[in-house]
Every structure is written in C-alpha cells, then in structure tokens.
C-alpha cells in the first residue's frame, strides 16, 4: 500500500492531556506510524513536553480569551507551509485552523454534540464551530452510531453517507495490575473500598453528583473512599479548590500520568463516570473495565451503545440512585465479580488493530 503524508491537528494530545479526544488521536498517530506512514501532529502544549520531533507542540497562553486564537494563528501558518495527502482535524476546535488555512479537502472527527443538548453547554460559538466543521469536511468520523445520527439530526443538510462511525480503542497497557494497585493504595494511605473517578473536572461530567452520592453512600459504608483524578477546566478551577478545602476525606489527586492511570483503575473497587451532556464514546469506562474494575455510569445513549450490558446504568443527575448503586456493588462481591468477568471478555473488541484499519481504509477512499 502507498505510504501517506498525514497531518493530525488536535488541540490536545496524550499523554500531555488525558481527555478521550486526545487519547483517540494519540492512538491514531501510533497506529499510522507503525503502519509506516509519515505522520505529523500539531497540538497545544498544556502540561509537558512530548519530546517527539513529529509532534509540534504550540505553547498555550492559559488566558481565557487568548489561547484559542493564538493556537489557530500558529496552526494556520504551519498548514500553509507544507502539503499533505491527508489533513485530519480532531473536534471542531482542531478543524477551525484547517478551514482558516483555506484547505478544501480534509477529514474531521466529531466526538459529541454537547453544545446542542444542555443549557450549560448551549454556547453559540460552540454550536457554530460544530456546524462549520461538519459542513466543510469531506468526510466526518464519529465514535458511536448515536453521534452519527445526532449530527444528521442537528445538521440535516449533511450527507450521512459521508459520516463514518469508528469506535475508539484502548492500548494494551490497560490490564489488571493488582500488585501495583496495592502499593499505590498504601502510598495514598487508603484503607477500605474505593470509588474512583478519572476524567476532566468539568460541570457536565457530573462530578458534583458523584461527590454527593459518595457522601450518601459513606453513611452505609463508613470506610468508603472517593479518589478523583483529573484537572479542572477554566470554569471549575475555583470550585475545585473550594472542594479540596471542604472535602478533606476525598482524595483529589489531580493530573495522573499515563504510566499511572492503569494502576489507578486497578486500585478502584468501582469506577464511576456520570456525564449528563453528550458523550460520543466514553473511553474511561472501557479502560476501567480492561483493568478489572466494574463501572457505574450515566444512562446516556452512547454509553449504552458502547458498553451494552457490561456496566450499571443510572439516570443522570440522580445522586440518591447513584449512591444506592455504589453501595450495592461494593457490598455484593458476587455481583461485582460477575460484572467484571463478563465485561473483561467484551472489552477485547476495542482494539487499535480493528479501529486503525477502518480509518486507514477511509484515508485511501478519501484520496480516490
């Protein structure tokens, strides 16, 4: 097969950041490199230097209204310099600089349509960027059939034949690590069962409901612990700092390195993810399952599509019911073990070999 020159544009990229969209494009990058393609990445630098000559990290000025325009300006300059066979943008914010650089043919990935669905995220500019990205893209990839249909629903003029569903995938490093998990638990001075959350600390992720549910569940299980990994977004920074002062019994561990994430997953007795806005795939519950930890999540349609009957589903924004499921799963060892065993077999379908192959086929289709 012909080797391609490919540029990926993504505002975030793992392991510099750990959101699902970042991990998805990192997986794409690694797969395509292993296939022998010439791949470059333009991304922001948020936490650390990735030290890869093929990854261009643009320094991000973390001022609320400056970082995005500056990212666009720098990316446009680079895209105008060089020619690529494939230009692939991650999320609307990764697509905008591609459009601004006057590229006529490109591929975009849309992970969710949150700005169309909740009052908190109903921001005109966010909706505009999604519509612009969808309308201008040659092909669009999504990570669930639910999001594929949602795009057609909210932007009916798009041809659904140009929207392709590619489920996300996880790396081989996500597996049970009981010895390392035991050491981590000792290091954190934790005794008793653990409810675990790893993800962005942002409002629509339902983190406040998780804390409320934990407080309720702790009344029945006094030695219950809550470990929350991840960094707050701009809007949640002050609230997050207030929580750290107010909830001294909660372990706010902040940013977790890529090396440590599988250990944290393995340490949890129950993993909870509880979004109430659109989720396109939901990578963290798949990672947790692969590490042998049962999952409770919100009953979003995309979660149900991806996880099927391999998780416990709770309606969003219902702290009481979430707490009841936490208690039930912690106390019922046989229920927890049955869920773990079934889910571990199921999760093997989400491999980069299958997902990467489908994307590669789409790239060659794009060039015809």
Contact 43, 10 (CB under 8 A): yes
Angle of the 91-100 helix axis to the 67-81 helix axis, nearest 10: 50
Q: Same structural domain for residues 201 and 143? A: no
Q: Same structural domain for residues 342 and 319? A: yes
Q: Same structural domain for residues 240 and 250? A: yes
Q: pLDDT in tens for each of the 368 residues of the chain?
A: 789 999 999 998 988 887 888 889 999 999 999 999 999 999 998 888 889 999 999 887 666 666 788 889 999 999 999 899 999 999 999 999 999 999 999 999 999 886 666 555 445 788 889 999 999 999 999 988 888 999 999 999 999 999 999 988 888 899 999 999 999 999 999 999 999 999 889 888 899 999 999 999 999 999 999 999 998 887 889 999 999 999 999 999 998 988 999 999 999 999 999 988 766 667 899 999 999 999 999 998 888 888 989 999 999 999 999 999 999 999 999 999 999 988 888 888 888 888 999 999 999 999 98
Determine the pLDDT at residue 65.
Answer: 60
Contact 90, 24 (CB under 8 A): yes
Q: Same structural domain for residues 29 and 151? A: yes
Element (H, E) at 69: helix 67-81
Determine the pLDDT at residue 113.
Answer: 80
Q: Same structural domain for residues 213 and 336? A: yes
Examine residue 15 and say whether the peptide bond preceding it is cis (omega within 30 degrees of 0): yes
Exposure string (b/e) for 124-140, b if CB count within 10 Å is 16 or more?
A: eebbebbbebbebbebb
DSSP 127-149: HHHHHHHHHH-SEEEESSHHHHH
Determine the pLDDT at residue 277.
Answer: 73
Q: Same structural domain for residues 117 and 214? A: no
Q: Same structural domain for residues 197 and 339? A: yes
Q: What is the 3-state secondary structure (H, E, C) of 219-284?
A: CCCCCCEEEEECCECHHHHHHHHHHHHHCCCCEEEECCCCCCHHHHHHHCCEEEECCCCCCCCCHH
Q: Same structural domain for residues 306 and 340? A: yes
Determine the pLDDT at residue 220.
Answer: 97
Q: Same structural domain for residues 12 and 132? A: yes
pTM greater than the 0.75 cutoff: yes
Q: Same structural domain for residues 147 and 288? A: no
Name the region of 308 (left: φ>0; alpha: ψ -120 to 50; beta: rest).
Answer: left
Radius of gyration in angstroms for the set of CA atoms belonging to the chain, rounded to a whole number: 20
Range of the domain at 338: 178-349
Task: Classify residue 12 by burial, with Cβ atoms within 10 Å: 0-12, 13-18, 19+.
Answer: buried
C-alpha dihedral, 265 to 273 to 160 to 93, nearest 10°: -80
Q: Which residues pair with 44 in a beta bridge?
A: 58
How many domains are there within the chain? Answer: 2
Contact 43, 56 (CB under 8 A): yes
Q: Same structural domain for residues 195 and 338? A: yes
Query: Residue 281's domain is classified under what CATH number?
Result: 3.40.50.2000
Q: Same structural domain for residues 161 and 74? A: yes
């Amino acid at each position: 097969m012909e080797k391609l020159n490919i540029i990926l544009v993504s505002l975030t990229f793992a392991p510099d950041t750990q959101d699902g969209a970042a991990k998805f494009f990192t997986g794409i990058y690694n797969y395509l490199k292993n296939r022998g393609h010439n791949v470059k990445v333009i991304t922001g630098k948020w936490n650390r230097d990735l030290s890869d000559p093929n990854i261009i990290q643009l320094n991000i000025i973390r001022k609320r209204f400056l970082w995005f325009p500056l990212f666009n300006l720098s990316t446009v300059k680079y895209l105008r310099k060089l020619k690529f066979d494939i230009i692939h943008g991650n999320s609307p914010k990764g697509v905008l600089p591609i459009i601004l650089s006057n590229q006529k043919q490109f591929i975009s990935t849309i992970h969710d349509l949150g700005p169309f669905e909740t009052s908190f995220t109903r921001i005109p500019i966010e909706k505009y960027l999604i519509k612009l990205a969808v309308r201008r893209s040659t092909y669009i990839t999504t990570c669930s059939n639910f999001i594929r249909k949602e795009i057609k629903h909210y932007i009916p003029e798009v041809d659904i034949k140009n929207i392709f569903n590619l489920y996300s995938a996880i790396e081989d490093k996500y597996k049970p690590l009981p010895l390392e998990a035991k050491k981590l638990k000792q290091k954190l001075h934790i005794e008793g069962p653990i409810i675990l959350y790893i993800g962005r600390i942002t409002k629509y992720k339902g983190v406040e409901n998780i804390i409320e549910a934990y407080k309720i569940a702790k009344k029945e299980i006094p030695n219950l612990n809550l470990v929350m990994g991840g960094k707050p977004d701009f809007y949640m920074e002050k609230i997050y700092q207030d929580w750290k002062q107010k909830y001294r019994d909660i372990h706010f561990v902040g940013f977790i390195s890529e090396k440590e994430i599988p250990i944290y997953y393995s340490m949890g007795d129950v993993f909870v993810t509880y979004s109430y806005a659109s989720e396109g795939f939901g990578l963290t519950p798949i990672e947790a399952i692969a590490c042998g930890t049962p999952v409770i999540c919100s009953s979003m349609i995309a979660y149900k599509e991806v996880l099927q009957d391999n998780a416990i589903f709770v309606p969003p924004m219902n702290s009481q019911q979430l707490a009841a499921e936490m208690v039930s799963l912690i106390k019922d060892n046989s229920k927890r073990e049955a869920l773990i065993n079934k889910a571990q077999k199921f999760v093997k379908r989400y491999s980069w070999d299958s997902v990467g192959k489908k994307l590669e086929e789409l790239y060659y289709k794009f060039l015809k």
